Amino acid sequence: MTHNVVEQAFFHVTRKVIYNPHVPLTVGCALEAGTRHNPFFAFYDNVRAYPVRRNGIEEQLPAIAFLKGVANGNIQCPTLPQIALETVQHYANLSREIIMEQIRKEVAPGAPSRQNCLWVADSLDGARWWQSRLGGESTIVRLRATGAAHKADAAFLLVDTEPLSTTIDKAKLYWLGRQTEAPEFETLFSGRAVVEEVLPNCQNCPAPPPFPRPKATL
């Protein structure tokens, strides 16, 4: 569901990932979300490519051309399963986000876009759950935010092959604020947020099973 918030507390998981070029967040940092692509979606402005060596010179081949070279026997690739999976996930996620944006404009045009939002959780337990789920090196910060927020169930997101009609139907439920029997709540935020606290790392904290959520449904 989408609603306006004023000086509301949220929690954000900031991770060290290849698509996030920003410096670590510190107390007092101001974030503006909703005006340009966030690091996650901006990553798709780059070409997914893999190195090959020809005549002693290394060059980067776009992923599909690289895989065709492997299929034709022109490229030897001992890590083919990993590269094939990375390529499939890259384009599956891109397709998902394009579909999600199309459906958002139809169903919830006032909701923050996944392409330029800031992902937050409305509780520390929720942020800890996502921190454990996402893995890797990360830090949780507490924000004070003013803008628009949309709470949705990430369990509706495309994660594997399925009929296009199913993906579209689930996207509509996501933007309508519905929930599954085992919801994975995330909040998309657009507006201005200020870091009020950088919380101690808790990398070994177990993820709360199941996702921490109120008893009432959306």
Mapping DSSP onto H, E and C, the string for 79-113 reads CHHHHHHHHHHHHHHHHHHHHHHHHHHHHCCCCCC
Asked whether residue 211 is domain-assigned, the answer is: no
Q: Is residue 190 part of a domain?
A: yes
In a domain, 216, yes or no: no
Euclidean distance between CA atoms 205 and 21, whole angstroms: 26
What's the rounded mean pLDDT across residues 68-97?
Answer: 94
Residue-wise DSSP of 21-33: -SPPP-TT-EEEE
Beta strands in the chain (DSSP E): 2-15, 30-33, 49-54, 57-62, 118-120, 138-153, 185-198
* 23 confidence band (pLDDT: 50, 70, 90): low
* pLDDT for res 212: 47
19-33, 99-113, 161-175, range with the lowest pLDDT:
19-33
Instruction: Work out the number of other CB atoms within 10 angstroms of the CB of residue 170.
Output: 21
Predicted confidence (pLDDT) at residue 206 exceeds the cutoff of 60 = no
Q: Is cis: bond before 210, omega within 30 of 0?
A: yes
Domain count of the fold of the chain: 1
As a whole number of Å, the end-to-end CA separation of the chain is 8
* 127-156 pLDDT tens trace: 999 998 888 888 999 999 999 999 999 999
Give the mean model confidence (pLDDT) for residues 60-79: 93
Is the per-residue pLDDT at 201 higher than 50? yes
Residue 140 lies in a domain: yes
pLDDT in tens, 155-197: 999 989 999 999 999 999 999 999 999 999 999 999 999 999 9
pLDDT grade, residue 2 (50/70/90)? confident
Question: What is the pLDDT, as a whole number, of residue 202?
Answer: 62
The answer to whether residue 213 sits within a structural domain is: no
CA distance 2 to 103: 15
Position 15 in a domain: yes
Is pLDDT above 50 for 218?
Answer: no
- Ranges of beta strands (E only) in 16-68 are 30-33, 49-54, 57-62
Domain assignment present for residue 218? The answer is no
Classify residue 135 by its DSSP letter: -
Reported as a single tens digit per residue, the pLDDT across 38-56 is 989 999 998 999 999 888 8
The pLDDT value given to residue 1: 76
C-alpha to C-alpha distance for 150 and 17, rounded to whole angstroms:
24
| Number of Cα atoms under 13 Å in the Cβ half of residue 76 | 2
Task: Report yes or no on 203 lying in a domain.
Answer: no
**Token match 């390529």: residue?**
87
Rounded to 5 degrees, φ, ψ at 13 are: -95, 115
- Please give the distance of CA 124 from its chain centroid, rounded to a whole number: 18
* Domain enclosing residue 166, as ranges: 2-198
